[in-house]
Amino acid sequence: MRIPFNLLVAFFALSTLFFVGLSIVTGAVNISFSDAYGVITSSFSNRETTEYSLASVVLLELRLPRIALALLVGCILAQSGAVLQGLFRNPLADPGIIGVSSGAAVGAIVAIVVLPEAWKVWSIPGLAFLAGLGTTFLVYSLARSEKGTSVVILLLAGVAMSALAGAAIGFMTYFADDNNLRELSVWQMGSLAKAKSEELPLLLFVCIVLVVLFQRQTNALNALLLGESEARHMGIKVERLKRNAIILVAIGVGVAVAYSGIIGFVGLVVPHIVRMLCGPNHRFLLPLSALLGGMLLLISDLVARTILTPAELPIGLITSLVGAPFFIVLLLRERKRWY
Amino acid sequence: MRSAGISFAKSLACFSLLLTVITTQTALAEDETPRIISADLGTTQVLQALNLQDAIIAVDVTSVRQPELRGLPSIGYHRQLSPEGLLSIKADALVGAADMGPETAINALEKTGVQIIQQEPPKTIDTLIENVRTLSTEFNHKEDGEKLINIIEEMRTTLSNTSVKQKTAIFLLDMGGHGGANGSMAGQGTGGDAFLNLLGLENMAKFPAYREASRESLIALNPDVIVLASGGRPSKGPKLEDSEVIALTRAAKEKNIMGMNASTLVAGLSVAAMDEAIRVKTTLAKK
| Domains present along chain A, CATH in parentheses | 5-35+55-338 (1.10.3470.10)
- Indicate the residue type of B154: E
B1, B2, B7, B8, best to mutate vs chain A, most A CBs in 10 Å:
B8
Which one is predicted more confidently, B20 or B23?
B20
In chain A, beta strands by DSSP E: 144-145, 148-149
Cβ of A57 within 8 Å of Cβ of B108? The answer is: yes
Cβ of B79 within 8 Å of Cβ of A310? The answer is: no
Contacts of A47 in chain B (CB under 8 A): none
Which one is predicted more confidently, B31 or A209?
A209
Ordered DSSP codes for A169-236:
HHHHHHH--HHHHHHHHHHHT--STT--GGGHHHHHHHHHHHHHHHHTTHHHHHHHTT-HHHHHHTT-
B7, B14, B16, best to mutate vs chain A, most A CBs in 10 Å:
B16
The pLDDT tens digits for A88-143 are: 887 777 777 778 888 888 888 888 888 887 787 778 778 888 888 888 888 878 88
pLDDT at B96 over 70: yes
The alpha carbon of residue B175 is apart from the nearest alpha carbon of chain A, in Å, by 16
Domains B32-157 and B163-285 equal at CATH topology level: yes
Contacts of B14 in chain A (CB under 8 A): 40-41
Across residues A159-187, what is the average pLDDT?
82
Could you say which residues from 47 to 66 on chain B have a Cβ atom under 8 Å away from some Cβ of chain A? 58, 61
Which one is predicted more confidently, B12 or A36?
A36
pLDDT at A174 over 90: no
Cβ-nearest to A177 among B26, B76, B209: B209
pLDDT band at B22 (very low <50, low <70, confident <90, very high): very low
Cβ of A65 within 8 Å of Cβ of B13? The answer is: no
Nearest CA to A138 among A88, A94, A99, A80? Answer: A99
Q: Is B9 on the interface with A (CB under 8 A)?
A: yes
The pLDDT tens digits for A202-243 are: 899 999 999 999 999 999 999 998 888 899 999 999 889 988
Are the beta carbons of A108 and A187 closer than 8 angstroms? Answer: yes
Are the beta carbons of B65 and B44 closer than 8 angstroms? Answer: no
pLDDT at res. A48: 53
User: Which residue in chain B has the smallest CA separation from A117?
Assistant: B99
Give the CATH number of domain B32-157: 3.40.50.1980
Cβ of B20 within 8 Å of Cβ of A21? The answer is: yes
A49, A64, A291, A303, best to mutate vs chain B, most B CBs in 10 Å:
A64
| Residue ranges covered by each domain of chain B | 32-157, 163-285
Cβ of B20 within 8 Å of Cβ of A40? The answer is: no
Cβ of A44 within 8 Å of Cβ of B10? The answer is: yes
The pLDDT tens digits for A38-82 are: 888 888 775 555 456 888 889 998 999 999 999 999 999 999 999
A312, A313, A315, best to mutate vs chain B, most B CBs in 10 Å:
A312
pLDDT at res. A46: 58
Q: Is B171 on the interface with A (CB under 8 A)?
A: no
pLDDT at res. B283: 94
Cβ-nearest to B76 among A57, A203, A308: A308
Interstrand relation of B225-230 and B257-261 (parallel, antiparallel or unpaired): parallel
The alpha carbon of residue B96 is apart from the nearest alpha carbon of chain A, in Å, by 14
Across residues B64-85, what is the average pLDDT?
85
pLDDT at B181 over 60: no
Could you say which residues from 187 to 206 on chain B have a Cβ atom under 8 Å away from some Cβ of chain A? 189-190
- Convert chain B into a string of H (helix), E (strand) and C (coil): CCCHHHHHHHHHHHHHHCCCCCCCCCCCCCCCCCCEEECCHHHHHHHHHCCCHHHEEEECCCHHHCHHHCCCCECCCCCCCCHHHHHHHCCCEEEEECCCCCHHHHHHHHHCCCEEEEECCCCCHHHHHHHHHHHHHHCCCHHHHHHHHHHHHHHHHHHHHCCCCCCEEEEEECCCCHHHCCCEEECECCHHHHHHHHHCCEECCCCECEEECCHHHHHHHCCCEEEEEECCCCCCCCCHHHCHHHHCCHHHHCCCEEEEEHHHHCCCCCHHHHHHHHHHHHHHHCC
Could you say which residues from 250 to 279 on chain B have a Cβ atom under 8 Å away from some Cβ of chain A? none
Which one is predicted more confidently, B49 or B287?
B49
Across residues B170-174, what is the average pLDDT?
88
pLDDT at res. B243: 72
Give the CATH number of domain B163-285: 3.40.50.1980
pLDDT at res. B29: 38
The pLDDT tens digits for B208-245 are: 888 877 778 888 899 999 999 886 554 454 566 667 77
